[in-house]
Structure 1
Amino acid sequence: MSDGTDNKSSPVAGMQKPGKRLTLGHIADQLGISTATVSLALRDSPLVAEETRAKVKRTAEEIGYIYNRSAASLRTSRSQIVGVAVHDILNPFFAEVFSALEDVLEEQGQMIFICNHRDDVKRQKAFVNTLLQHRADGLILCPSVGTSAEDINRLIDQGIPVTLVARELPGVWAPCVRGDDQAGTNRITKHLIEQGHRKIAMVGGRRESSTGRYRHLGWRQALVDAGLDPDKQVDMPELMTQADGRAAVPAMLEAEERPSAVVCFNDLVAFGMMTTMRRAGVEPGPDIAITGYDDIDGADARTPALTTVHAHPDKIGRLAALTLLRQIAGDRVPNTPIVIEPELRVRESSPPPGVRFAPRLAD
């Protein structure tokens, strides 16, 4: 009879030995299905029945299995990773674009890496290099100011699907999904002219970007069409944020010929200007008409409610994601821009000169 001191311990039946990596085979054996089916289920493939997918995921969670994307990418040449890079993720317009494209990409099992490059080419390049190291399936990019066509075409030449969003670059071999920025500012400037304004300033926009150039061009063209000289108007480029809008107010109010109306590059600049003007004793709307662009959340809740351009960020985001997915699937997608028609939203902030708006009652 043994006292047990020389007994060798043995693993309990069905238990995993400590330190041994869990594999797809463990899930397959437990459920009585193939490892191929398990792999497809964990990638949310429609080839696997929904009930089976649920069982596989539940079993994986119970035994602590973590899907190895790196190994899967070596087998399939797909990482299920997509990079998204924009210059200002804090801007509610881009937050809406991202939300829409995220919904589409996640439906297809794609994991998203996001970069806020802040119009810094070095940050953008570092992010792209990281994507390449992770064998990303593709890139959705609002290109930084200073990005060259060669920067993008080099990626495409390496077989990386790329879709541009919001900003386009001449000579790039990739499709671009953007709003019709020139039409948007043209319409809102014409609206101000029809209201009787003749001194109409343009505030904001990075003119090195296509968005800044197109919105500036739309403003200029509307003035020229009305017989007004855009070179005699106040024109303040490069401003993008609420802080920029606040900082622009003193120069605007001290201009030799103070404008009676302002076309702001976006709603953020408009919000900043409206707040600071009111503190200076100048009422936005009656004293100086203010307009924005993008129609972000809260534009209609301001006092006065902001006249702006609705740019359909949800549609831009969805189309950008679908366009990239087509490229990932191997489709040849034309590199012509996909341009979304904007809508003018006229509200209280753009009355005729000197006309006061009636305060709104609470709902």
Structure 2
Amino acid sequence: MVPPNPDDVRRSRRRRITLSQLAAQLDVSTATVSLALRDNPAVSADTRKRVQALAKEMGYIYNRQAASLRTARTDIVGVVVHDVLNPYFAEVFRAVEAELEKNGFTILICNHRDEIARQRNFVKVLQQQNADGLVICPSLGTTREDIDEIVRAGTPVTIICRDVDGAAVPSVRGDDVRGMHEITAHLIARGHRAIAFVGGRRHTSSGRDRHAGFMAAMTEAGLSPVADIPELMSQGDGRAAVDELLAAPVRATAVVCFNDVLAFGLMSGLQKAGLRPGIDVAVTGYDDVDGSESWSPALTTVKNGSDEIGIEAARAIRALIAGDPAPFEHMLIPPKLELRDSSAIAPA
């Protein structure tokens, strides 16, 4: 296949079809063409059909930059998350996207991987493109000053899943303290006393709060963790944590994982070590991602409101973009304990 000639490509770009050209060929106004391309019922169905057919034939491409100059809007919202490979963030993103698409917004997503420089670069690019708003699960190291700077530049912001202390923008996330307290208390009620905690970035609100909920339940029962391993997040981290747990002076009969992804890796590691998750060692997760119920054993976890978070975040950013007051300041979505096979009764 012969590659396109660069000169031909450049000439093609200069010859981009315009609304005026479409309007002249159809003998209608540019306003009519614009409305017809957006399928606006103010234009007759026959005219819409003719305009859309000619636009397709001539290769017309919507010029978002030109529209932005006319309306001061781009209908673009950026969504920044920690890890799009984590099913939980994918579920939150899907809910945000579905809600905003109903109002004609296009979504751009960034995976910052907890690297503040990646986050700042993406935000800068979004602002250069005059994005209308930003929904952000802030990276490790994000400060109030970072959020304030984005807002001062004219970009509305809504925070999801993690908090930023002192940030004066709406935020919505799960009630991590309560959810982790409930799942830890469940294990204690099942007779477990040798309980370990695995994972979570302790300098984020979710890592700090889930660990705090775990420790509160343990303290109330007069217990101390037999192991406490921070800063783990992935399936690989969960598999690797098994060796450290098995080398602890006291063998854990139950392991509380920061999230479901860690729990999946931990259960795989336990099986490789000859232990049966849900029988020899109880394991719990957090988030209730797709697949947690069908894992073997089915994972006891906490439903963390991914759909609700996405819907509420979309509602807040829409209000801010429209210039209306935010519908809430800080919203906590109630957790729901999902009891399944992996949280075995403690061995006698």
**Contact 1:174 1:335 (C-alpha < 8 Å) held by counterparts:** no
Which residue among 126, 129, 142 is the counterpart of 2:137? Answer: 142
2:256 corresponds to which residue? 263
Change (3 A) 1:305 1:122: same
Preserved contact between residue 78 and residue 131 of structure 2 (Cα < 8 Å): yes
After TM superposition, the score normalised by the length of structure 1 is 0.87
Match of 2:270 in 1: 277
| 3-state SS, counterpart of residue 134 of structure 2 | strand
Q: SS state of the match for residue 299, structure 1? A: coil
Q: 1:331 to 1:44 in 2, by over 3 A?
A: farther
- The residue number in structure 2 matching 1:74 is 69
Contact 2:316/2:328 (8 A) holds in 1: no
> Is the aligned partner of 1:161 residue 2:156?
yes
Letter in 2 for 1:38: V
Q: Deviations for 1:191-217, whole angstroms, at most 9, x for unmatched residues?
A: 101111112111000011111011111
Look up the SS of the partner of 2:271 in the other structure: helix
Superposed counterparts of 1:132-281, under 5 Å:
132-228=127-223, 230=224, 232-281=225-274
Map of 2:3 onto structure 1? none
Alpha-carbon offset, residue 297 of structure 1: 1.4
2:340 equivalent to 1:347: yes
For 2:72 and 2:186, locate their aligned partners in 1 and report how far apart those are by CA, in whole Å. Answer: 53
Match of 1:60 among 46, 50, 55: 55
Contact map agreement 1:43 1:109 (CA 8 A) in 2: no
Does structure 1 residue 331 correspond to structure 2 residue 324?
A: yes
Instruction: Find the partner of 1:290 among 283, 305, 311.
Output: 283
Match of 1:300 in 2: 293
Q: Deviations over 1:91-143 (max 9, x none)?
A: 00111111111112222221221111100011111111111111111111110
Q: For residue 170 of structure 1, report the CA deviation from its aligned partner.
A: 1.1
- 8 Å contact kept, 2:35–2:43: no
Over 3 Å counting, the alpha-carbon distance change for 1:53 and 1:339 in structure 2 is: farther
Helix, strand or coil for the counterpart of 2:69? helix
Q: Alpha carbons of 1:76 and 1:318: their partners in 2 closer, same or farther (altered >3 Å)?
A: same
Cα distance in 2 for residues equivalent to 1:278 and 1:159: 52
| Residue 83 (structure 1) aligns with | 78
Matched, 1:106 2:105: no
TM-superposed CA distance for 1:59, in Å, is 3.7
- Give the structure 1 partner of residue 9 of structure 2: none
C-alpha displacement of 1:83: 0.9
Is 2:14 aligned against 1:23? no
What CA distance in whole angstroms lies between the structure 2 residues aligned with 1:163 and 1:53?
Answer: 37
Q: 3-state DSSP class of the match of 1:301?
A: coil
Name the count of aligned residue pairs: 336
What is the root-mean-square deviation in Å for CA atoms of aligned residues?
Answer: 2.2
Query: Per the alignment, do residues 207 and 138 of structure 1 end up closer, same or farther by CA in structure 2, a change over 3 Å counting?
Result: same
Q: What fraction of aligned residue pairs are identical, expressed as a percent?
A: 53
d(CA) in 1 for partners of 2:14 and 2:317?
40
> Could you tell me how far apart the structure 2 residues matched to 1:306 and 1:286 are?
12
Greater gyration radius? 1
User: What is the rounded CA distance, in whole Å, between the counterparts of 1:33 and 1:346 in structure 2?
Assistant: 64
Shift of 1:36: 3.0
Mapped to 2, the partners of 1:116 and 1:301 lie a distance apart of: 27
Asked whether the equivalents of residues 28 and 38 of structure 1 are also in contact (C-alpha less than 8 Å), the reply is yes
For residue 22 of structure 1, report the CA deviation from its aligned partner. 2.1
Distance 1:95 1:49, change over 3 A: farther
Question: 2:56 is paired with a residue of what secondary structure?
Answer: helix
8 Å CA contact 1:81–1:113 kept in 2: the answer is yes
Q: 1:55 to 1:185 in 2, by over 3 A?
A: farther
Q: Point out where structure 2 has 5 or more consecutive residues left out of the alignment.
A: 1-11
User: How many angstroms apart in 1 are the aligned matches of 2:285 and 2:97?
Assistant: 26
How far does residue 49 in structure 1 lie from its aligned partner after superposition? 6.4
Structure 1 stretch displaced more, 315-324 or 120-129: 315-324
